[in-house]
């Protein structure tokens, strides 16, 4: 999901929970009133401009700016924070990046959100920063850094939090049917059959009316069958991959699950919403046993039933598909938010010094306090509170993940989002592999 379009729909994030992803789902605030005037004549002298998505998280980003400004380099070259409301961020960023007002440092989502800037020569590779200061690389998890890597070059430093997609389940429903969380695709099919036999008519809740929850099943099926390079290569323009044996196998596996009645009677999911808390209530009430959702799901469930979240909600990794090229530890979801750097910044040393704040313990603690699961190597030691087991479990998944696949509707350009949603929803309804593959092959490469 692209945050500017869809994040608000993905769950209610409660501040008390200190959970993942508040930044990416919140509605974004107003731009700093003087920002446009301060930059009307191009980039200011002896200053670096840090542009971010305007929202309630901005105080922590202001803290980072203030912290840098107290350093020796910061006293010579001051950092200035500017914000743009979320609804307008990506559109205005496009305009700014091609002008003399381009920011020195800017917020983004990695993946397809920066590819066009890199191809246009507007981004500074950060490899030299990392060579001069190895901590700028070693302080972050490799799978997260790689999501902002193009070719051999790194173009982003993590600066908020991560949201992996996991398989959540009702512990009581599984126990009542003498089941354990599935580790393989065959286990999942077996669990579905047992649940239906036990009277659970919708083993897996699916908010098909929202469409994007359906996409998560494709992301994992393709990873497990075709491997993580499938999407990378497809994004690079290899559209023929959508009509290969691996693609057909991933679709066939999904079709088998659909035909088994995993999501209820045919097309019934088209009238069910995640965004209206319908699927959460299905899991809480025991009408469904499983739901595949991003890590924000815990807070969604907690907002509906704190006792259920604390006692009965389980979570596990997506099952493996034996014989496939993907790794059981591969993840899909929303990797992180990043700071990227303008190729023509006049103050690269100042920027390099500013970026070191992103792995400082105080900054990490402030992000965790806002509910962002940061991706520094020091994060586990800084997690505290009642949600610590859940946050640490997520972190362990991310740490051992050999690949972290960005949500397809973020990885591809925004203009392809509706086409992707329509294609995945259409396949679930019709099981027409040819139509799905043709639609996906018609997507524009990220550029």
**In terms of C-beta density within 10 A (0-12 exposed, 13-18 middle, 19 or more buried), how is residue 400 classed?**
middle
Q: What is the mean predicted confidence (pLDDT) over 417-441?
A: 96
Is 86 part of a structural domain of the chain?
A: yes
pLDDT of residue 113: 83
pLDDT tens digits, residue range 268-283?
999 999 989 999 999 9
Between 91 and 1, residue with greater pLDDT: 91
Instruction: Report the share of the chain in percent with pLDDT over 70.
Output: 89
- Residue 89 pLDDT class (50, 70, 90 cuts): confident
Please tell me whether residues 124 and 200 are part of one structural domain. no
Between 35 and 52, residue with greater pLDDT: 52
Please tell me whether residues 37 and 139 are part of one structural domain. yes
pLDDT tens digits, residue range 429-438?
999 999 999 9
Rounded-to-integer distance, Cα 25 and Cα 12, Å: 8
Is 404 part of a structural domain of the chain?
A: no
Please tell me whether residues 221 and 238 are part of one structural domain. yes
Q: What total of structural domains would you count in the chain?
A: 2
Please tell me whether residues 41 and 115 are part of one structural domain. yes
End-to-end CA distance of the chain: 18
Rounded-to-integer distance, Cα 129 and Cα 94, Å: 25
Is 420 part of a structural domain of the chain?
A: yes
Between 110 and 213, residue with greater pLDDT: 213
pTM of the complete model: 0.78
Please tell me whether residues 153 and 184 are part of one structural domain. no
Look at residue 189 and tell me whether its pLDDT is greater than 60. yes
Q: What are the angstrom distances between the C-alpha of 95 and each of 90, 186, 301, 345? A: 9, 49, 39, 17
Is 41 part of a structural domain of the chain?
A: yes
Please tell me whether residues 103 and 224 are part of one structural domain. no
Between 53 and 23, residue with greater pLDDT: 53
Evaluate whether 56 touches 193 at the Cβ level (below 8 Å): no
Look at residue 8 and tell me whether its pLDDT is greater than 90. no
Please tell me whether residues 242 and 117 are part of one structural domain. no
- Residue 167 pLDDT class (50, 70, 90 cuts): very high
Look at residue 423 and tell me whether its pLDDT is greater than 50. yes
Please tell me whether residues 340 and 314 are part of one structural domain. no
Please tell me whether residues 326 and 354 are part of one structural domain. no
pLDDT tens digits, residue range 42-60?
667 899 999 999 988 899 9
Smallest CA-to-CA distance from 369 within 13, 81, 16 is with 16
Q: What is the mean predicted confidence (pLDDT) over 190-196?
A: 98
Look at residue 3 and tell me whether its pLDDT is greater than 50. no
pLDDT of residue 143: 87
Is 5 part of a structural domain of the chain?
A: no
- Residue 105 structural domain: 19-161+336-393
Please tell me whether residues 55 and 101 are part of one structural domain. yes
Please tell me whether residues 133 and 60 are part of one structural domain. yes
pLDDT tens digits, residue range 210-268?
999 999 999 999 999 999 999 989 988 999 999 999 999 999 999 999 999 999 999 99
Is 131 part of a structural domain of the chain?
A: yes
Is 126 part of a structural domain of the chain?
A: yes
Q: Average pLDDT over the chain, rounded to whole? A: 88
SS3 for the chain is CCHHHHHHHHCCCCHHHCCCCHHHHCCCCCCCCCHHHHCCCCCCCCEEEEEEEECCCHHHHHHHHHHHHCCHHHHHCEEEEEEEEHHHHHHHHHHHHCCCCCCCEEEECCCHHHHHHHHCCCECCCHHHHHHCCHHHHCECHHHHHHHEECCEECCEECCCCEEEEEEEEHHHHHHCCCCCCCEHHHHHHHHHHHHHCCCCCCEECCHHHCHHHHHHHHHHHHHHHCCHHHHHHHCCCHHHHHCHHHHHHHHHHHHHHHCCCCCCCCHHHHCCCCCCHHHHHHHHCCCCEEEEECCHHHHHHHHCHHHHHHCEEEECCCECCCCCCCCCCEEEECCCEEEEECCCCCHHHHHHHHHHHHCHHHHHHHHHHCCCCCECCHHHHCCCCCHHHHHHHHHHHHHCCCEEECHHHHCCHHHHHHHHHHHHHHHHHCCHHHHHHHHHCCCCCC
Cβ count near 299 (within 10 Å) = 26
Instruction: Report the share of the chain in percent with pLDDT over 90.
Output: 74
CATH number of the domain bearing residue 277: 3.40.190.10
Query: Who's near 12: CB < 8 A, 6+ residues apart?
Result: 299, 300, 303
Please tell me whether residues 143 and 179 are part of one structural domain. no
Is 402 part of a structural domain of the chain?
A: no
Q: What is the mean predicted confidence (pLDDT) over 289-303?
A: 91
């Amino acid at each position: 999901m692209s945050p500017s379009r869809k994040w608000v729909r993905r769950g209610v994030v409660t501040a008390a929970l200190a959970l993942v992803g508040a930044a990416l789902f919140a509605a974004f605030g107003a731009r700093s009133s003087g920002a446009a005037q301060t930059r009307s004549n191009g980039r200011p002298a002896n200053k670096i401009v840090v542009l971010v998505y305007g929202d309630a998280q901005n105080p922590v980003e202001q803290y980072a700016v203030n912290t840098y400004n107290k350093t020796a380099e910061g006293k010579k070259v001051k950092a200035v924070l500017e914000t743009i409301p979320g609804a307008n961020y990506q559109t205005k960023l496009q305009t700014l990046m091609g002008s003399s007002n381009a920011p020195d440092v800017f917020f983004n989502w990695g993946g397809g959100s920066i590819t066009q800037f890199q191809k246009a020569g507007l981004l500074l590779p950060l490899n030299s920063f990392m060579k001069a200061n190895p901590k700028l690389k070693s302080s972050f998890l490799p799978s997260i850094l790689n999501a902002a890597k193009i070719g051999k070059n790194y173009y982003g430093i993590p600066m908020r939090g991560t949201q992996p997609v996991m398989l959540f389940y009702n512990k009581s429903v599984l126990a009542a049917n003498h089941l354990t969380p599935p580790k393989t695709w065959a286990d999942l099919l077996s669990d579905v059959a047992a649940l239906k036999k036990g009277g659970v008519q919708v083993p897996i809740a699916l908010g098909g009316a929202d469409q994007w929850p359906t996409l998560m099943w494709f992301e994992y099926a393709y990873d497990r069958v075709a491997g993580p390079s499938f999407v990378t290569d497809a994004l690079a323009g290899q559209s023929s991959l959508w009509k290969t044996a691996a693609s057909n196998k991933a679709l066939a596996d999904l079709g088998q699950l659909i035909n088994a009645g995993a999501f209820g009677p045919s097309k019934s999911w088209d009238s069910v919403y995640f965004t209206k808390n319908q699927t959460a209530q299905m899991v809480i009430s025991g009408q469904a046993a499983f739901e595949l959702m991003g890590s924000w799901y815990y807070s969604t469930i907690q907002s509906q039933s704190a006792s259920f979240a604390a006692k009965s909600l389980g979570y596990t990794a997506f099952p493996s598909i034996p014989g496939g090229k993907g790794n059981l530890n591969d993840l899909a979801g929303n990797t992180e938010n990043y700071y990227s750097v303008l190729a023509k910044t006049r103050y690269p040393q100042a920027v390099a010094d500013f970026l070191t704040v992103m792995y400082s313990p105080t900054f990490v603690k402030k992000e965790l306090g806002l509910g962002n699961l940061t991706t520094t190597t020091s994060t586990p030691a800084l997690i505290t509170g009642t949600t610590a087991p859940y946050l640490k479990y997520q972190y362990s998944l991310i740490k051992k993940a050999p690949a972290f696949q960005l949500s397809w509707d973020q990885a591809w350009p925004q203009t392809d989002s509706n086409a992707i949603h329509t294609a995945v929803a259409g396949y679930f309804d019709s099981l027409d592999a040819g139509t799905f593959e043709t639609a996906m092959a018609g997507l524009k490469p990220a550029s």
